[in-house]
Each structure stands twice: as C-alpha cells, then as structure tokens.
C-alpha cells in the first residue's frame, strides 16, 4: 500500500449547506466528483486533525458503501490516526453525533440525503460534522466551498477495496491508520439509557401498551428494532420496514401523512395501536401518529417540551 496523488479538475456548484452537499447519485458518480469534495473537506481542516479520529457512516442509501471505502482511503492519506465506521456503513445522523462525542473525534463524515428518495436514480449526500457532533457551521462550509473551486489534486491510499471490510465488527489497518468497524446501535442505546427512564417505558409495554413504528426501510430501522422491541419489550413486529434498503424499498422516507399513508390508515382503523410513529431517511426527524391524529414533527417537539416537567 502507498499514498498516491491524483490530478483532477474542479467542479462548479459543490457548495454545501449545513445539511451538506446533496445531488443526484449520477452527479456523485462523475469522475473524481466525490473525491474532490472529500479532499476539499480535509483541506479545510487544521493541521491538528492529522493524528485524530474521524467517524464515518451513513443512512444506507445507494452509493453509501462505495463512498465510505473511498473516504477511508482518503482519510488514511490525510493522516488521521483512526476511522470509526458503523457496521455495513450504517450510522443514523443522531448516532453519528453520539459516536463523535463519545470518542472525542475531530469530526465525522455523514453520508445522507435525509428524506430525499434513494436508489440508483435517487439522491446522495455528504456532510461534515464537527467535534461537538453537530453540523459544520457556515464558516467551515464556506471554506470547503472555496477549496472546491480550485482543486487540482487529491490524495488517497492505493489499498484495494477488498481490504476495506464493512460487514463485520473488526479492526484493521489501512496504511498507518486504524479502522474500527463498530456496532451501529450500541453507543446510541447507551446514551439514550442515560437520558430516558427505560424501566418506566418497559413497565408501560408490559402493561399492554402497543405501538407501530414505520422505519420506512431507512436507517432508523435497526435502532428502533433494538431499542423498542429487544430492550423495551414492545411486541415483536411493532417495528415495520426495519431493514435499511439502498432504495428505501421504493418508499419516500419523508414521514408525513402522504408518504406514511399505510401507518396513518392503520392508526385510523378500528383496532389501532396506542401509538404510531415514523422516522425519515437518516432518523433525525419523525412523525408521531395517534389514533385518528397525525402530529407534525415541530408540534411533537413542542408537546415533549411542554410535558418535560
């Protein structure tokens, strides 16, 4: 293995917002398009980022794994000491924030286009989060954009993609950089246990409380399945569309009464569960559904705040 320099030509329009850079998959598949943007992120970081930790993961949409392998090779070239990546490349946006903070990482690269459709003809996205787990502020995204305008070269390891394992929990080395593949859910569960009263919620489910959670074939599925069914005791099958799919199973992972029509129909039925919910593509936004009542995400947050004490 060795670090190589690749000559490239800059692309117009690689301006990220706080939600990162979102384009069609076919745009990201252009020669060096992804590499240019990743190099621009790394070029914008201070020298102290070398020797630090980088977290990488995404919502499981099409092109996720391909992009992660490229990012790992470029991270090795930049000089990161370690990359932490979710198993199968999976990390919800809230979980990635948690992993960044827990491991005192310098930052993280999150691959998601949020609630936008997935698949080969869908959208792809990439964003940089800073050490506090939150999205990069405008000063950083502006610097990244300036870097994209005049980029002429990028650096990466020439390691074979076959050497970059994502599907099993393991640790290995690319160049001088350690790569750790972690359980995508564990750290997030640990954080939630310190925030919410899991014992009280278990008692609620033991009392016969029922729910239906639609993960919309997106990244929230593994988290909801582990937390709601395996740990808290919700009835098996309470979480539906729980396996992240590259095209979200043809669903549009934007939780609203139109895209989550099946959930709303069930909650309006005669034998509706006590509680319904759905999450979006990267699991940082939700819709709460009661019996004959859908609650907008902003309103559900207001309800939580009003009943916090």
Residues designated catalytic: 114
| Residue 79, both tokens | 């000089």
Q: Which of 221, 292, 231 is CA-nearest to residue 263?
A: 292
Print burial letters for 100-121: b (CB count within 10 Å at least 16), e (below 16): bbebebbbbbbbbbbbbbbbee
CA distances from residue 196 to 221, 232, 235, 289, 297 in whole angstroms, order as listed: 20, 11, 20, 21, 19
Cα–Cα distance between 50 and 240 in angstroms, integer? 42
Unique residue bearing structure tokens 């639609």 = 214
Strands 21-24 and 123-130: antiparallel
Cα–Cα distance between 254 and 126 in angstroms, integer? 18
Three-class secondary structure of residue 101 per DSSP: helix
Q: Which of 72, 31, 30 is CA-nearest to residue 53?
A: 72
| Residue 293, both tokens | 């009542």
Exposure of 62 in the CB half-sphere (CA atoms within 13 A): 19
- Name the DSSP letter for residue 15: -
């Amino acid at each position: 293995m060795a670090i190589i320099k690749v000559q490239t030509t800059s692309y117009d329009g690689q301006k990220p917002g706080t939600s990162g850079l979102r384009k069609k998959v076919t745009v990201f598949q252009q020669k060096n398009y992804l590499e240019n943007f990743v190099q621009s992120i790394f070029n914008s970081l201070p020298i102290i980022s070398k020797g630090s930790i980088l977290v990488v993961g995404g919502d499981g949409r099409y092109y996720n794994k391909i992009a992660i392998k490229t990012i790992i090779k470029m991270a090795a070239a930049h000089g990161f000491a370690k990359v932490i990546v979710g198993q199968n490349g999976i990390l919800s946006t809230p979980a990635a924030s948690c992993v960044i903070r827990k491991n005192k990482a310098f930052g993280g690269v999150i691959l998601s286009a949020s609630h936008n459709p997935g698949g080969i003809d869908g959208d792809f996205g990439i964003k940089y989060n800073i050490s506090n787990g939150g999205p990069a502020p405008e000063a950083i995204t502006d610097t990244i954009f300036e870097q994209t305008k005049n980029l002429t070269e990028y650096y990466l390891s020439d390691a074979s993609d076959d050497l970059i394992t994502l599907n099993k929990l393991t640790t290995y080395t690319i160049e001088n950089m350690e790569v750790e593949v972690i359980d995508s859910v564990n750290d997030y569960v640990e954080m939630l246990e310190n925030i919410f009263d899991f014992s009280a919620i278990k008692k609620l489910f033991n009392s016969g409380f029922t729910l239906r959670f639609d993960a919309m074939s997106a990244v929230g599925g593994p988290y909801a399945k582990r937390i709601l069914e395996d740990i808290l005791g919700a009835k098996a099958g309470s979480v539906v569309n729980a396996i992240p799919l590259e095209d979200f199973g043809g669903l549009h992972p934007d939780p609203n009464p139109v895209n989550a029509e099946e959930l709303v129909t069930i909650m309006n039925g005669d034998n509706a569960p006590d509680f319904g919910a759905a999450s979006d593509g990267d699991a940082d936004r939700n819709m709460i559904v009661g019996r004959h009542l859908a609650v907008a995400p902003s309103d559900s947050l207001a309800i939580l705040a009003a009943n916090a004490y």
